[in-house]
Amino acid sequence: MIRTSLLLSFAVLVSFGCGANEGVMRSGRESPTPAAVAGNVDPFEREMAEIQEAKFTWLYVVRRRDGGILSSEDKAFVKQHTTDANRRVVADGGKAVIIGSNYSITADGAQILKQRFDVADLSTPPAQ
């Protein structure tokens, strides 16, 4: 009898403790959710914004000259010549690699990349 009433009391307490949190249920109603906002942004632009938010010193976008999708060999080549990069992200449906780095690509590395790819240097000029 005592076990049954203890078990019943425990069940009642647990059921009250598992109620919905009103703060959580109302959250997101005041403004659009981040997923909804992000869904309206072009994926390439979103990747660029994320790299720019990281405030890397150097920012490059590498693309094939023919505008095609980068092959695994292309990506390996870019990685090989940007080993010091902090972040490399394949973007634009596989047509670009966005590179964010706090270290400059060496002159030799940049020349090698430019011989094979279109390389856009979008780095912020240093303050003087």
Per-residue pLDDT of 82-109, as tens digits, reads: 888 899 999 999 999 999 988 877 667 7
Pick from 25-29, 46-50, 113-117: least confident = 25-29
5 token code pair: 């009433």
Indicate which CATH number applies to the domain containing 102. 3.30.70
Give 113: exposed, middle or buried? Use CB within 10 Å, 0-12, 13-18, 19+: buried
In a domain, 18, yes or no: no
pTM: 0.64
Question: Does 116 fall in a domain?
Answer: yes
> Does any domain span residue 85?
yes
Q: Which residues contact 35 (CB under 8 A, 6 or more apart)?
A: none
The parent domain of residue 52 ranges over 37-128
Structure tokens at 68: 């095609």
Does residue 4 lie in a domain region? no
What tokens does 104 get?
């400059």
- Domain assignment present for residue 83? The answer is yes
79 domain residue, yes or no: yes
Q: Which of 126, 62, 70, 68 is nearest to 99 (CA)?
A: 62
Number of other residues whose CB lies within 10 A of the CB of residue 54: 12
Give the pLDDT confidence score for residue 105 in this predicted structure: 73
